[in-house]
Structure 1
Amino acid sequence: MTASTVAGQGHGTLADQAYRSLSDRLVTLQIRPGEPLNDERIATELGFGRTPVREALKRLEHERLIVAYPRRGTFATEVQIADLGHISEVRQQLEPLAASLAAQRAGEADREQLNQLLRQLADTSGGDTDLIRLDMAVHRAIYAATRNPYLEDTLVRYDNLATRIWCLFLDRLPALAGHVHEHEPLLHAIIDRDAEKAATLAAGHVDGFETAIRGVI
């Protein structure tokens, strides 16, 4: 799976495309914490004008993936391990809610996408970056199936922050494939419209994420 598969590049405005490209690189730490971002250089690299890039940077700043300092420039935010508890508190409440709603509201197109993701989970032959992107794709498909754009937007933001923490410790954590494969029973529960089981599995996944991180810090 490539970055464009998850990010859906080629769709939406130029600002949307710039946002997705930069977000993917920031979340997977291809742009390292503390690294400067120059809008002119990014625009040249993406083949866009500076205006859509600046719009994308504003959105990324709102999502706490970058920070801008007057007269100093714009930088990828540092990954703050102290934020793990705060992020987990939000996700422990909202991830089960999203899984439950997705089980109740997913339409045929959603269910087909979830089935496609199940097939991809059965063939996780790529590297760690591909697995991270597959993990992100699963979460985003579940959020979209809630049919609640406010919940979806909130959870994408927090999943991005959580994924950055995961990527920071990737070389010290247990096998990534096992973590990603935890989504299989969750996806089955959503497809089967078992809202209670989906919520329970989502809660367990968030708890397992925090436990794994705390085990290596």
Structure 2
Amino acid sequence: MSTADSAHVSLAERAYGEIRRMIIRLELAPGDVVREADLQATLEMSRTPIREALQRLARDHFVTVIPRRGMFVSAIQFDELAMLYETRAIMEPYAARLATRRGTPRDWDEMAAVLAETTLPGKRPSELLELDRQCHEIIWRASGNRFLTATLDTLYAQSDRLWHMYLADVHDMGHAVDEHASIHGALVAGDADRVAGLIEEHVNSFDAQVRAAVADRLGTPLSSTA
């Protein structure tokens, strides 16, 4: 790959990350029109990397293209909540089992350093959520499976968006972060069964909290994933 091609890929990757972040943080809310010209001005990029990023975001279900109408930020439907979390509840424990076998002391030292940050006073919920994500990313990377990592990154981003939509103003992230301390201990001990079980509980707990928040906000009871 030439230097010019590498730079182009880097720009497209950066555009994807920035636009996805805007969608997750609700700077671009569900149903909003996505305009290439506005994004070019905001991100100070040309049309090509923006267009490539939007095509990828459409594949990842963050934006929806409606012929003759335009491009819109995708909504997350009630029936998709079950699919999102049941997929995470299967894939995250599997990745954790791989990470238990393939991870190194350096990985778990890095995770310990992230967990140490969570104990610092004055951490906002959004900052704790970012640290939660970093813990997951360390486990995904340690699994040594880039296909799992790519898929779980997209699934977590959708969960992150749900948190900003329904839980940001009410949810205490402290308990979720504490769960990572137990997960870390099991990873260090090399106990794959315990790691997988704790990860599944962690994902299902977040699922239950999102469902409760959606039901409370919209007055719409949601069925269990079971």
Which deviates further from its counterpart, 48-57 or 161-170?
161-170
1:78 is aligned to 2:78: no
1:50 is aligned to 2:47: yes
What is the alpha-carbon distance in structure 2 between the residues aligned to residue 56 and residue 47 of structure 1?
14
AA paired with 1:69? I
User: Cα gap change, 1:24/1:148 in structure 2, threshold over 3 Å: closer, same or farther?
Assistant: same
AA paired with 1:165? L
1:213 is aligned to 2:210: yes
What is the alpha-carbon distance in structure 2 between the residues aligned to residue 103 and residue 23 of structure 1?
30
Q: Runs of 5+ in structure 1 lacking a partner? A: 1-11
Overall identity of the aligned pairs, in %:
29
1:162-201 to structure 2, matched below 5 A, reads: 162-171=159-168, 173-201=170-198
Aligned to 1:110: 107
User: Cα gap change, 1:52/1:112 in structure 2, threshold over 3 Å: closer, same or farther?
Assistant: farther
Q: Encode CA deviations 1:113-154: one digit per residue, 9 max, x unaligned.
A: 312212222226332322222222222221111110111111
Which deviates further from its counterpart, 34-43 or 123-132?
123-132
AA paired with 2:69? R
AA paired with 2:79? A
1:67 is aligned to 2:68: no
What is the alpha-carbon distance in structure 2 between the residues aligned to residue 30 and residue 112 of structure 1?
35
AA paired with 1:59? R
In the TM superposition, what is the alpha-carbon distance from 1:13 to its structure 2 partner? 0.4
User: Cα gap change, 1:52/1:171 in structure 2, threshold over 3 Å: closer, same or farther?
Assistant: closer
Q: Is the 8 A contact 2:95 2:143 kept in 1?
A: yes
Aligned to 1:128: 125
Larger Rg: 2
SS at match of 1:13: helix
What is the alpha-carbon distance in structure 2 between the residues aligned to residue 52 and residue 112 of structure 1?
36
Runs of 4+ in structure 1 deviating by more than 6 angstroms, as ranges, are none
Pick one of 110, 134, 138 that aligns with 1:137. Answer: 134
What is the alpha-carbon distance in structure 2 between the residues aligned to residue 74 and residue 191 of structure 1?
46
AA paired with 2:19? L
Aligned to 1:18: 15
1:36 is aligned to 2:33: yes
Q: Runs of 5+ in structure 2 lacking a partner? A: 1-8, 216-226
User: Cα gap change, 1:51/1:84 in structure 2, threshold over 3 Å: closer, same or farther?
Assistant: same
What is the alpha-carbon distance in structure 1 between the residues aligned to residue 69 and residue 81 of structure 2?
28
Q: Is the 8 A contact 2:98 2:143 kept in 1?
A: yes
AA paired with 1:194? D
Task: Identify the structure with bigger relative contact order (alpha carbons < 8 Å, sequence gap 6+).
Answer: 1
AA paired with 1:27? I
Q: Give the paired residue count.
A: 207
Root-mean-square deviation over aligned CA pairs? 2.1
TM-score normalised by L of structure 1: 0.86
SS at match of 1:198: helix
Which deviates further from its counterpart, 125-134 or 87-96?
125-134
TM-score normalised by L of structure 2: 0.82
Pick one of 89, 93, 102 that aligns with 1:92. Answer: 89
AA paired with 1:123? L
